[in-house]
């Protein structure tokens, strides 16, 4: 394939949809760990039973079944909401249909959540608002038995094949089965796309301070958000352009296309078979006459050779913190699942920042509290994910900067005139105490509170 043809296809898939975005829709996705308070593995039969109750209660329709006939995804045709399980039946996910007003999302979230909690409570189970399943060590951390998740699990477990690479892999290839995120997609206008990516990338260190909520208790307690490590030090991170942040400044949409050309593809489908292979940059992939990969069949992985085709661009999937999607949106992926009562803080923060994008951009461009001190945004986020701040930072000035960012988000939400600024109150409380959910949890454990009490506290709706 000629380079101009590839750029044309990338433009059509990722950039073209951002043109004529007028509605400014919101898309909210919340993943929640399922916790068996009996300190035993989550019984998937219990999950399937409760899932059936939910589908009947809320008039959802099955849209995805695994290889054993169990429903792993269902949707409501009226509002577009989806209940699914992300990677594993240990991890429940709500994906809400696009909305203009965040209160509409929150209302349905609480309704669904309270019903499910009532059902799970019968078995001494709970959903909770943590970025890592607190009882993961008791669970069967296995993928949903279907083509996509089996392929993903196989890909992540193949890290031992790459030990000659100059990178360090972690020992949690099954992390997708016990890590939970809170993600938001926002419609973006073509003309603002570069600024959107640049500014939100520079905000990532601030978000680390406010939202960190995934600690591997007893293992890496100095790391308040292990989510970054999970992605970066896995096979997803073999090509660093597929994960994390952008450490370059985009001026045009063409420059974004140039970046996308450097990202890697690692799977495709042929027929009903998911095939995964050594990650290869997309521009190199289409220069190959054939690619060799593996697919699953009858309990084993078999080798297959296939020819690349242009439709494979649909399988180009980066996992950037600010991810340009084929829907005309930017998806924000760096935030852990939050305590349940604070679930809307994530979407609210991003919506407000987007509304006040120019002022936030100006604030960060002029900042000298964290920037212009020898560190880029990626390095700053890594430093701020730790339980102790780096020595070069003036803590008082740092939290003045955080407040200035929060105030701009608050003002942006007020401009929308829906009252959504209400959802930022928990963030102001965190700012006042200079804390986040991860720090609060570690502090409670240190003070003698039980892990189960904290799990239940983070599960509370109010």
Q: For residues 280 and 80, what is the distance between their CA atoms, to the nearest angstrom?
A: 35
Q: Domain locations in the chain? A: 3-313+328-457
Residue 249 is predicted with a pLDDT of 95
Over residues 76-119, the pLDDT tens digits come to: 999 999 999 999 999 999 999 999 999 999 999 999 999 999 99
DSSP bridge pairs for 276? 267, 294
The per-residue pLDDT of the chain, averaged, comes to 96
Residue 411, number of CB atoms within 10 A of its CB: 14
Cβ 349 vs Cβ 427: under 8 Å: yes
Residue 163 is predicted with a pLDDT of 84
Q: For residues 127 and 142, what is the distance between their CA atoms, to the nearest angstrom?
A: 19
Q: How, if at all, do strands 273-281 and 264-270 pair? A: antiparallel
Residue 415 is predicted with a pLDDT of 97
Residue 1 is predicted with a pLDDT of 61
CA 62 to chain centre: 24
DSSP bridge pairs for 295? 302
Residue 207 is predicted with a pLDDT of 98
- Reported as type and span, the H/E element at residue 45 is helix 44-57
Residue 220 is predicted with a pLDDT of 86
Residue 388, number of CB atoms within 10 A of its CB: 7
E strands, 282-365, in order: 291-297, 300-306, 319-320, 322-324, 329-332
233: CB partners within 8 A, 6+ apart: 167, 168, 169, 170
Residue 21 is predicted with a pLDDT of 72
Residue 20 is predicted with a pLDDT of 77
Residue 279 is predicted with a pLDDT of 97
Residue 377 is predicted with a pLDDT of 96
Q: For residues 125 and 213, what is the distance between their CA atoms, to the nearest angstrom?
A: 21
The CATH fold assigned to 3-313+328-457 is Creatine Kinase; Chain A, domain 2 (3.30.590)
Residues of the chain with pLDDT under 50: none
Cβ 174 vs Cβ 153: under 8 Å: yes
Structure tokens at 454: 């904290």
Residue 213 is predicted with a pLDDT of 98
């Amino acid at each position: 394939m000629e380079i101009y043809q590839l750029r044309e296809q990338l433009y059509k898939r990722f950039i073209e949809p951002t043109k004529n975005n007028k509605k400014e829709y919101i898309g909210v996705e919340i993943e929640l760990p399922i916790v068996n308070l009996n300190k035993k593995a989550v019984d998937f039969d219990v999950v399937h039973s409760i899932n059936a109750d939910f589908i009947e209660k809320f008039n959802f329709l099955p849209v995805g079944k695994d290889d054993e006939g169990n429903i792993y995804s269902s949707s409501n045709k009226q509002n577009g909401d989806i209940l699914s399980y992300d990677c594993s039946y240990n991890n429940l996910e709500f994906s809400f249909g696009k909305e203009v007003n965040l209160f509409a999302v929150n209302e349905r979230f609480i309704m669904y959540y309270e019903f499910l909690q009532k059902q799970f409570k019968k078995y001494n189970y709970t959903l909770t608002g943590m970025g890592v399943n607190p009882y993961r060590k008791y669970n069967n951390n296995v993928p949903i038995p279907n083509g996509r998740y089996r392929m993903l699990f196989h890909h992540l477990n193949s890290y031992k094949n790459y030990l000659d690479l100059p990178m360090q892999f972690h020992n949690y290839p099954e992390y997708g089965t016990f890590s939970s995120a809170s993600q938001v997609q926002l419609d973006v206008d073509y003309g603002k796309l570069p600024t959107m990516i640049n500014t939100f990338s520079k905000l990532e260190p601030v978000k680390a301070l406010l939202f960190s909520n995934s600690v591997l208790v007893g293992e890496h307690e100095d790391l308040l958000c292990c989510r970054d490590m999970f992605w970066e030090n896995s096979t997803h991170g073999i090509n660093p352009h597929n994960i994390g942040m952008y450490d370059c400044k985009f001026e045009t949409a063409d420059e974004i296309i140039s970046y996308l050309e450097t990202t890697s593809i690692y799977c495709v489908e042929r027929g009903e078979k998911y095939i995964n292979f050594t990650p290869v940059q997309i521009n190199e992939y289409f220069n190959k006459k054939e690619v060799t990969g593996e697919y699953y069949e009858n309990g084993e992985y078999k080798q297959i050779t296939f020819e690349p085709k242009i439709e494979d661009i649909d399988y180009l999937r980066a996992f950037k913190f600010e991810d340009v999607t084929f829907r005309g949106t930017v998806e924000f992926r760096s935030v852990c699942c939050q305590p349940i009562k604070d679930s809307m803080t994530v979407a609210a923060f991003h919506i407000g920042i987007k509304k006040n994008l120019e002022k936030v951009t100006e604030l960060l461009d002029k900042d000298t509290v964290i920037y212009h001190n020898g560190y880029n945004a990626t390095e700053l986020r890594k430093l701020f994910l730790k339980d102790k701040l780096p020595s070069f930072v003036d803590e008082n000035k740092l939290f003045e900067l955080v407040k200035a960012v929060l105030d701009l988000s608050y003002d942006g939400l007020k401009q929308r005139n829906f009252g959504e600024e209400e959802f930022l109150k928990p963030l102001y409380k965190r700012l006042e105490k200079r804390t986040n959910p991860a720090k609060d949890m570690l502090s409670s454990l240190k003070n003698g509170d039980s892990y189960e009490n904290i799990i239940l506290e983070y599960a509370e709706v109010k």
